[in-house]
């Protein structure tokens, strides 16, 4: 490998959100969407 590729491999970027945070946000969004659907009918 070249020097540039080696440096990229060593410095791994930390994720902005953890898996738990992502899942919670997704669940929240899904519930919000479901609630709106019930109100419109």
DSSP code per residue over the chain: --HHHHHHHHSPPPPSS-HHHHHHHHHHHHHHHHHHHHHH-
pLDDT in tens, 1-23: 566 666 666 767 787 889 999 99
Model pTM? 0.48
Please give the residue that has the higher pLDDT: either 20 or 36. Answer: 20
């Amino acid at each position: 490998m070249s020097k540039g590729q080696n440096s990229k491999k060593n410095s791994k970027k930390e994720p902005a959100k953890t898996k738990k945070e992502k899942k919670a946000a997704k669940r929240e969004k899904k519930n919000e969407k479901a609630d709106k659907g019930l109100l419109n009918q």
